[in-house]
Amino acid sequence: MTSTTATGMLQPSFEDLGTPLHDVTFVVVDLETTGTRAADAGITEIGAVKVRGGETLGEFQSLVNPGREVPAFVARLTGITTAMVATAPAIDLVLPSFLEWAHGCVLVAHNAPFDVGFLKAATASLGYPWPGFPVVDTVPLARRVVPRDEAPNHKLSTLANLFHARVTPEHRALADARATVDVLHALFDRLGPMGVTHLEDLATAADPVPPEVRKKRGLADGLPEAPGVYLFKGPGDEVLYVGTSTNIRKRVRSYFTAAEKRRRITEMVRIAHEVTPVVCATPLEAAVRELRLIAAHEPRYNRRSKHPERQAWVRLTDEAYPRLSVVRDVRAGSPHIGPFPSRRAAADAVEALHDALPLRQCTGRLPAVARTSGSPCALAGLGRCSAPCTAVDVPDDAYAAVADAAAAALTGDPSPVVHALAERIGRLAAAERFEEAGLVTGRLRAYVQGAARAQRLTPLSTCAELVAARPTRPGGWELVVVRHARLAATAVTGPGEDPLPVVDALRATAEHVDAPVPPAPACHPEEAALVLDWLESPGVRLVHTSEPWCVPVRSALAHADLAGVSGEVRSRLTTMASC
């Protein structure tokens, strides 16, 4: 579909054409009309010139009966009178001939929105679909290469005089089209040194892009029009930036246009000298490969998280009197929630649990049986710690119940913590202590989000192998093999192709993955999140699982609104919980 851009150019899908300008057949068109608005004016003349490679291939010219009188001021301007068009064919006869003559070409006009707007309106009035011609407007191109000190304006007559056009515009359609041909070729001569050499270049030729950036668009030549990952490389083959797209070539080309607004990326493009593509079978594979490449190369122009070791977890320690601890890794034998995006978020979750449960907050290791009583801290006096340090000669069995409640809140039903904090938030709000209520709400949200992540990750992390399929639009299948939450293999089958032999081949050749310590996945946590999102998307079917893939019914995901989980995902997880 053709659309008008802010620069004035009618921009089609040029990216898919990739044709040198000298191989493009252009139809340069001009109209004369009875007014300036297509809604209440008619066409009186159509003139057009068909050119390719600088040579004229043909011309089209016809007066048109607009079905109304030609205003006097229009007759004085164009020389076309009501009497001249009285015997001319109507638009329903002329327009089909013109559209057929221009079929397969690129339309060019000076101030194209005007001429193309009238053609579209006439096409619609006759009940025809608009053919969707690619359209080039010479006005924004002229603004790009003809400065004000060279020409006072960018009218067709001014440009024709500047470029010594062979025909002088005279407000007659064919003469003006001929003059526009000469202007177009002169503009191409000036745009060539700026890197505008292909049809797709015209879509952004009027953009205010630095010349050194525009000249780099050759880096996109030869890139595949397929989903995958691309790597911008700089001096010494340093990987500067890693990105992903469903169309590598189209996405990379956008970096050399005014559509790219990020200063850091423009700086990156200036020093890049190569773009390496990695074609992927599916968008999921592309997203995962992007994440892995970012982690491997740590590109200086990528700002996404690259280091799984910087993800924080909350652990209930494995000791006589457990406590909560913020850690960087997951250890066997202890309940964990997370990962959290930062230590601050993990600390908020710990505070939420401390608000609801009288867990000890001291960091020292306490013996199961103390010989002498310790001194209770201030938190014990406030009722926020059960003070196991004061137990003498016998273990503090009451604290064991507190620790069990904490473990249940981490791995199972968080309702006791949620209800306790909800009551506190209500009391604070009733007392108009809104800042404190907001603080507690943030802690509660951090806790529920961390618990929900762990409970989503755990079943997939413990699953040695899971095979799933999702239908594709052409009628085939997108297949994935996941091992301990890591994408181990993926493929796509075509329409009518039996997917089961492909599944068997994928399982036989998939990457070997060592078992992690759940809930930690055997991959970057963000990769596990990508895989989970794909598995929970509509239409996915489970083909094989080595272990059940399910979550508890009474889990943090039941509080999805606090966890930030969408209703669609929550519905699918509820279904999983029943398996």
Task: Specify the CATH number for the domain of residue 234.
Answer: 3.40.1440.10
Does 444 share its domain with 324? Answer: yes
Q: Compare 393 and 221 and report the one with higher pLDDT.
A: 221
Does 272 share its domain with 394? Answer: no
Catalytic residues, by residue number, are 171
Does 298 share its domain with 252? Answer: yes
| pLDDT tens digits, one per residue of 197-234 | 888 778 767 666 677 777 788 898 889 999 999 999 99
Does 385 share its domain with 267? Answer: no
Rg (CA), the chain: 34
Token output for 319: 């000791």
Tell whether the model's pLDDT for residue 9 goes beyond 50. Answer: no
For residue 16, name the pLDDT band (cuts at 50, 70, 90): very low
| pLDDT tens digits, one per residue of 527-571 | 999 999 999 999 999 999 999 888 777 788 777 665 554 455 445
Tell whether the model's pLDDT for residue 378 goes beyond 50. Answer: yes
Distance, in Å, from the CA atom of 426 to the CA atom of 404, rounded to the nearest integer, reads 27
- Domain encompassing residue 492: 457-577
Does 468 share its domain with 440? Answer: no
| pLDDT number for residue 242 | 95
Tell whether the model's pLDDT for residue 2 goes beyond 50. Answer: no
Does 131 share its domain with 87? Answer: yes
Percentage of residues in the chain having pLDDT higher than 70: 86
* Of 165-169, 209-213, 350-354, the least confident: 209-213
Query: Between the CA of residue 331 and those of 317, 442, 516, what are the distances in Å?
Result: 9, 27, 10
Phi-psi region of 563 (alpha: psi -120 to 50; beta: other; left: phi over 0): alpha
| pLDDT number for residue 371 | 53
Contact 231, 278 (CB under 8 A): yes
Q: Given 414, 434, 451, which residue is the final one in a domain?
A: 451
Q: Given 306, 341, 371, which residue is the final one in a domain?
A: 306
Q: Pick the most confident of 151-160, 395-404, 416-425.
A: 151-160
What would the mean pLDDT of 74-96 be, rounded to a whole number? 94
For residue 4, name the pLDDT band (cuts at 50, 70, 90): very low
Does 481 share its domain with 552? Answer: yes
Does 19 share its domain with 80? Answer: yes
Q: Given 306, 336, 367, which residue is the final one in a domain?
A: 306
Count of domains forming the chain? 4
For residue 309, name the pLDDT band (cuts at 50, 70, 90): low
| pLDDT number for residue 11 | 40
Does 237 share its domain with 334? Answer: no
Does 167 share its domain with 240? Answer: no
Q: Compare 542 and 321 and report the one with higher pLDDT.
A: 542
In which element (H, E) is residue 47 found? Answer: strand 43-52
Does 10 share its domain with 117? Answer: yes
| pLDDT tens digits, one per residue of 290-305 | 999 998 999 989 876 5
Which CATH number is 113's domain given?
3.30.420.10
Indicate the residue type of 157: S
For residue 1, name the pLDDT band (cuts at 50, 70, 90): very low
Does 39 share its domain with 170? Answer: yes
Distance, in Å, from the CA atom of 182 to the CA atom of 53, rounded to the nearest integer, reads 12
Distance, in Å, from the CA atom of 305 to the CA atom of 407, rounded to the nearest integer, reads 29
| pLDDT number for residue 177 | 96
What would the mean pLDDT of 451-459 be, rounded to a whole number? 92
| pLDDT number for residue 535 | 94
